[in-house]
Amino acid sequence: MDRRDFIKTAGGAFLLASSGAYAFRVLTAPSAGWMDVDFTPSGRKWGMVIDMNKCREDCTACLQACREENNVAFVNDDRYDIHWIRKARLQYKEESENPGKSVILLCNHCDNPPCAQVCPVQATYKRHDGIVIVDHHRCIGCRYCMIACPYNARYFNMKESEEWPNKDFPKRSHGVAEACNLCAHRLDAGKMPACVEACARQGCGALYVGDLNDHSSEVSRLIAKSAVKRIRPDLGTEPKVYYIGL
Amino acid sequence: MDIQFESIEGNSWTYRITLIVLAAFTVIGFLATLYVIDKGIWVTGMTNRIPWGVQIVMAVYYIGLSAGSLVISGLYGVFGKLEYKPFARIAVYIAMLFLIAGLLSILTDQGRMDRVFIQPFVHFNLQSMFSINPLLYSGHILICVIYLWALFTERKKTTKVVATLAFGWAFCVHSGTGAIFGFGARMLYESPLLPAAFVAAAMASGTALMIITIVVLFRITNRHVDDALILWLGRFLAIILLVVLYFLFMENAYRVYVVELREAALYYLFGGWHAILFWFGLIIIGCCIPMFILFRNKTGNSVRWVLIASIMVVFGILCERYVIVLPGLMHPPEMFPGMLVTGTGVPEGIAPYSLSVVEVLQALGVFGAIGFLFVWGLKAFKLLPNEAKALV
Amino acid sequence: MKGKPLLSPADPGQARLIVIIAVLIFVPLGFSVVSQVSRNRAESPNDFLEKPDPKYEECVRETSYMRFHHWELLRGIREEVVRYGKRSDVGLTKCSECHTSRERFCDKCHNAASLTPDCFDCHYFPK
């Protein structure tokens, strides 16, 4: 056997062994499955109502509270800052002297989330209670979800920020995508999301989060009795964030 | 006709210096990637508004080249054109390398490269184009390997079967790549035509690349190739270019015609840097001049002119990839049609983008890696025929 | 085997077999030898691990289970919490209530096994 043959055989055996090891690793990985979506029906479907009539234009309490609760990266550079919730000003293009009105924008937690549809690893998915959430342990950082989202609501952790205000909640290292998770950890614990609490503390009470399936809940009543709008429902994404006075 | 395949000697200094230069590129790209892993994706010029950049452009481009080269090898394998047998091996080899290049580009573009090898296979998402495509790609590489093996061992029947499979698979691969964009939600991406347009562009660039490779390689290694073979490929290229232009026209005509897309289409066609690339890079240099050269009798029958046209096409299709990927991202999705959105802390409106050094270095590294493999393969495998003659 | 020597290195087929077997044996063996050599000398983890405050008697599960299965526990909890919203009173952040230092407890073991879990990029755990 000459040197060439030796290299070939040894290389082949090594490749075989390592691919076997790789296959073993993939097959024994936790919860290997084609579609690991949770199908357990749950009575709840979280939704949000934003009453822009009650919202004060100069108030940013909800933005601040969100940052402090969820350790959202902020590096003071508008290309890399992450905003789970943000305030924008809307003006008609024709009449630029009109001051326009402000609006609160956040992830719409769509019922047909395009971001979850395109995620190649099911890191972004719709939880059984309707919250669209990112599993940061799985995200490979391909950024396809940012391209699919028609609401510009998804962000990428380009830079890590040093601040870590809420030590009980993880921050994110660079290289994963994220968006508002409707404070799922607080909802699970029976508390309201940080932005809602902050808004109530300011005395505005413009934000409501509640169960859309429960017809006696505050959000269902508001949706039933007032003129609500959603952002671009024509896209078929079925957003679950409703606006009053938009 | 009896063709002998041989490997090149590879003792000359040009050969060695080429290898060293390509290896240096690879090392540079590798270092750039390490830098990205350490610092984060932002060093490649990505922002929250422009999540995809040069790496994805190059990935799509490479995958197109790969699919196109496979079509050339199909001339012999599928359609039984015996006179193209001399190019079959090199075409499949190039197809395989470019697919690897595409995968490398995608890999080095991920935020968490450590998770790429496990998560997509464990948590497969059937609904995602990004999840289906890696399957197509890895299948493509596998088929290329089997195809090469069949060609090397001169198995006629297997070659035919595998070649047919590879031919169809190449179409699927590139349609799938087009579907990543075409089925997306961005205004300038969304189009059922895009997969088909991608396949056409892929075939154009692949054919052009094969012409360049064959002409240059055969000249450097002092091999004889009949002009008629190259000229036929040139005419083939001209016809594909017509198809490419047709798709481009239909797509943009639709966008300009439909009211809701008109503003975006005008931005695409006339709004900035990419418009220059579109008109000059793609339409004029990439399609019109080459078609003029190839269809004109005098220039179309000269190998030198066909070579020049091919180089233009390869450049033009690169511009096409750029103007598909980036303007679609720069143009914002319309959340409030007809309204101006300001003061959000995120740059609203048309997002700025400029090339960054690091991502160009990364792309260079990928190019160096597969260039190295290609040049090395010429020596290691019997890829080149002793001569290529036309059937009389 | 009629008179044929069991192994004849002159025969390419058999030589190939030897190489394959050698690779299959020696590569894993090499890995384990290297990891043995680079391992911390201490015989039992208890010799070099920091003990939690004595007022805590038990870990969140039995100590013997924790020693060899805490990663499975953490992964399981992670799956339940993040994907199904079943909050649990055990969590990565809560380990630090008793195991106050990462350097003197978790990393001691992990370094010996040359593991670098990336969890603490995101999860808070005092050094």
Residue C122 has pLDDT above 50, yes or no: yes
Residue of B nearest to A86 (CA): B344
Q: pLDDT of A164-182, one tens digit each?
A: 888 888 989 888 999 999 9
Q: What single string gives the DSSP state of each residue in B99-161? A: HHHHHHHHHTT-S-GGGTTTHHHHS--TT-HHHHHHHHHHHHHHHHHHHHHHHHTT-HHHHHH
What string of pLDDT tens digits covers the 392 residues of chain B?
A: 567 888 888 788 889 999 999 999 999 999 999 999 998 889 998 888 898 989 999 999 999 999 888 888 888 888 888 888 888 889 999 999 999 999 999 999 998 988 888 888 888 888 888 888 888 898 999 999 999 999 888 888 888 999 999 999 998 998 888 888 888 768 888 888 888 999 999 999 999 999 999 999 888 888 888 888 899 999 999 999 999 999 999 999 999 998 888 888 898 898 888 899 999 999 999 999 999 999 998 888 899 999 999 999 999 999 999 998 898 888 888 888 878 887 777 777 788 888 899 999 999 999 999 999 999 999 888 888 888 777 75
What would the mean pLDDT of C64-79 be, rounded to a whole number? 86
CATH code where residue B62 lies: 1.20.1630
Q: Which amino acid is at A12?
A: G
With a CB cutoff of 8 Å and minimum separation 6, the contacts of B379 are B7, B8, B9, B10, B15
Distance, in angstroms, between A188 CA and closest chain C CA? 6
Residue numbers of B between 296 and 355 with CB closer than 8 Å to A: 329, 332-348
Q: Check pLDDT > 70 for residue A133.
A: yes
Residue B52 belongs to a domain? yes
> Does the CB of A105 have a partner CB in chain B at under 8 Å?
yes
Lowest mean pLDDT among A168-172, A203-207, B178-182, C35-39: C35-39
CA–CA dist B41, B18 (Å, integer): 31
Is A135–C83 a contact, with Cβ atoms under 8 angstroms apart? yes
A to C CB pairs, distance under 8 Å: 71
Nearest to A143 by CA among B50, C47, B134, B141: B50
In A, minimum Cα distance to C80 occurs at A38
How many domains does one find in chain B? 1
User: What would the mean pLDDT of A49-61 be, rounded to a whole number?
Assistant: 89
Neighbours of chain C (3+ CB pairs under 8 A): A
Q: What angle do CA A216, A219, A225 make, to 5 degrees?
A: 80
Q: How many CB pairs under 8 A join A and B?
A: 182
Please judge whether A13 and C9 are an interchain contact, meaning their C-beta atoms are less than 8 angstroms apart: no
For residue B384, the SS3 value is strand
Cα C100-C106-C107 angle, rounded to 5 deg? 120
Residue B35 inside a domain? The answer is yes
Contact, A149 vs A177, CB < 8 A?
Answer: no
Cross-chain CB nearest to A86 (options B122, B124, B345):
B345
The verdict on residue B22 lying in a domain is yes
User: Scanning every residue of chain A, which has its alpha carbon at the shortest distance from the alpha carbon of B107?
Assistant: A142
Does some domain include residue B120?
Answer: yes
C-alpha torsion angle, residues B192, B193, B199, B201 (rounded to 10): -140
- Helix or strand or coil: residue B341? strand
For B220, the domain range is 5-239+359-388
Q: Which residue has the tokens 């990266």?
A: A73
- Token look-up 């059984």 returns A128
B233 lies in a domain?
yes
CATH 3.30.70.1150 assigned to A36-244: no
**Residues C82-99: tens digit of each pLDDT:** 888 888 888 888 888 888
Domain ranges of chain A: 1-30, 36-244
> Cα dist. A25→A21, A123, B119, B145, C117 in Å?
6, 19, 11, 25, 17
Of B41, B52, B110, which is closest to A158 when you measure between CB atoms? B41
Task: Give partners of A (≥3 CB pairs < 8 A).
Answer: B, C
Residue B198 lies in a domain: yes
The answer to whether residue A189 neighbours chain C at the CB level (below 8 Å) is yes
